[in-house]
Amino acid sequence: MAGKSRVRIGIVAGETSGDLLGAGLMRALRERLPQISFEGIGGPLMQALGCRSIFSMEKLSIIGLDAVGKYPEILGIRNKLVEHYLKNPPDIFIGIDVPDFNLVLEEKLKSAGILTMHYVSPTVWAWRRYRIRRIKRAVDHMLTLFPFEASLYKKHRVPVTFVGHPLADQIDEKSNMAALRRQLHLPAKGPVIALLPGSRLSELERHADLFVKTALWLHKRHPEIHFVAPFVSAETREIFERSLYRHGAWFLPVTIVANLSREAMAASDVVLLASGTATLEAALLRKPMVVTYKMSWVSYLLIRPFLHVDLYALPNILAGRKIVPELMQLDAVPEKLGMAIEDYLNHRDKARNVRTVLAGIHHSLRRNASMRAAEAVLRVLKTRPRPAKTGASPSS
């Protein structure tokens, strides 16, 4: 960074979680460099901190299979961003998650001499590891949320910094279970099981019956159990409620709440949930859990050859061994899920041991992620030459 010139950062986030990460990074960078400026694509949190959003973040939130029909528009946005950054090169470009969009953008910018960083590793450790070749071409420096990701990049000689996970910074080490149960109108005494069958409609369609049948299995054997089920939308809640009535389970003692998934998990004794990011939140809350997932057999057979993991649940991957049950595909049946939950209730020492391991995971991820990410950005800016400010022109 030469002289006192103002540092300009190109930045692109494509969904709500990226907006949250981006805002934390921007805030930490501004503490070090008050005159810093940001431009690219950001959500409301990033815009509130001064990011000039050239396009709406919602345009990128549909990336994936749902984006097929919108692909020409997304391609157009990416091409216009490339043109913009080549005409006005930033000191550095930071792509936050959405790798299908950002890695291509980063590759084009890096090839033009613009420094690039990527925040949140694609799941190359889990499947499609060949993507590391593109990452090496596209990224000058990777910022990872998990330590095992950093180890993988070091092995493949990709410059990397493990920054920790912002959720670990946000979630308190202890929560008031009694107060949370009062807030959610749950019984003060007796076992409470949280049910989180997923946040997407497709996940609810596959998991609602499984979770309801598991609750019925448990209720028959342990009528004192109360259930709590948080849902992120009216549509997902409706799918679950239809399943309750379809299986004659309207009598189940289940409290359904809107959002408040963190509170529901914190107020529970055991969590039954679909594999995904919610398992990390449950781990940081130090909750014994049972993890499950079902996908269509067509999807499973297509994905299976590209998988590189024996463990699926994030808590198990972070621990390096199976500390919580994970029951996938053929094993995802009510009796097995119910018995795994029952095992926690009958063996308090097992639940206590799981909580101890999860506490260690929480400590390992609690690193002040936003500040560590900002420090990595500043290091890259100081040690690498900046792109030339003149003579750049968009590729044809």
User: Nearest 5°: phi and psi at 368?
Assistant: 60, 65
Pick the CATH number of 8-164+367-383 from 3.30.559.10, 1.10.620.20, 3.40.50.2000, 3.10.20.30: 3.40.50.2000
Please state the domain extents for the chain. 8-164+367-383, 177-365
Buried b (16+ CB within 10 A) or exposed e, 359-368: eebbebbbbb
Residue pair 89/388 in contact (Cβ under 8 Å)? The answer is: yes
pLDDT at 315 over 50: yes
Fold adopted by 177-365: Rossmann fold (3.40.50)
For the chain, helix, strand, coil in percent to 5 are 50, 15, 35
- Residue 92: partners with Cβ closer than 8 Å, 6 or more residues away: 9, 10, 114, 115, 116, 117, 377, 380, 381
Residue 394 pLDDT level (bands cut at 50, 70, 90): very low
CB-CB contact of 296 with 278 (8 Å):
no
Question: How would residue 300 be classed by pLDDT, with cut points 50, 70 and 90?
Answer: low
The reported pLDDT for the residue numbered 69 is: 65
* pLDDT at 388 exceeding the cut of 70: no
Strand segments, DSSP code E, in the chain are 8-13, 37-41, 52-53, 92-96, 116-119, 141-144, 160-162, 192-196, 226-231, 254-258, 270-274, 289-293, 326-328
Binned at pLDDT 50, 70 and 90, residue 18 comes out as: very high
Q: Write phi, then psi, for 292 (nearest 5 degrees).
A: -140, 165
Distance (Å, whole) CA 215 – CA 351: 19
DSSP code for 58: G
Domains 8-164+367-383 and 177-365 share a fold: yes
If you ran DSSP here, which 8-state letter would residue 90 be given? -
Residue 307: pLDDT over 80: no
The string of pLDDT tens digits covering residues 255-299 is 999 999 999 999 999 999 998 889 999 999 999 999 999 876 555
Mind listing the pLDDT tens digit for each residue in 327-362? 998 899 999 999 999 999 999 999 999 999 999 999
Phi, psi angle pair for 125, to nearest 5°: -70, -25
Output the pLDDT for position 71: 77
57-101 pLDDT tens trace = 887 765 444 556 677 888 999 999 999 999 999 999 999 999 989
**3-state DSSP assignment of residue 26:** helix
Look at residue 125 in the predicted model and tell me its pLDDT: 63
Task: Enter the pTM of the model.
Answer: 0.85
Q: How many CB atoms within 10 Å of residue 85? A: 25
Query: CA 273 to CA 51: how far, in whole Å?
Result: 36
Q: How many helices (H) and strands (E) does the chain have?
A: 17, 13
Amino acid at 273: L
Residue 348: phi and psi, rounded to 5, are -60, -30
Contacting residues for 31 by C-beta, under 8 A, at least 6 apart: 374
Q: Which two tokens stand for residue 338?
A: 């119910």
Asked if pLDDT for residue 31 goes beyond 70, the answer is yes
Cα–Cα distance between 118 and 22 in angstroms, integer? 11
- For residues 383 and 396, what is the distance between their CA atoms, to the nearest angstrom? 31
Report the pLDDT averaged over residues 139-161.
95
Per-residue pLDDT at 145? 97
Q: Which residues pair with 226 in a beta bridge?
A: 192
Q: pLDDT tens, 169-208?
A: 999 878 899 999 999 999 999 999 999 999 889 899 999 9
Closest residue by Cα to residue 284 from 318, 239, 326, 325: 318
Q: Give the model confidence (pLDDT) of 108-146 as tens digits.
A: 999 999 999 999 999 876 556 778 999 999 999 999 999
Please state the rounded mean pLDDT for residues 348-377.
97
- Please give the pLDDT value at position 390: 45
Note the pLDDT of residue 149: 93
Q: Which residues contact 165 (CB under 8 A, 6 or more apart)?
A: 145, 146, 280, 365, 366, 367, 369
| Three-state SS annotation for 325-386 | CEEEHHHCCHHHHHHHHHHHHHCHHHHHHHHHHHHHHHHHHCCCHHHHHHHHHHHHHHHCCC
Helix, strand, or coil (residue 30) = helix
Task: Give the separation between CA 212 and CA 202, rounded to whole angstroms.
Answer: 16
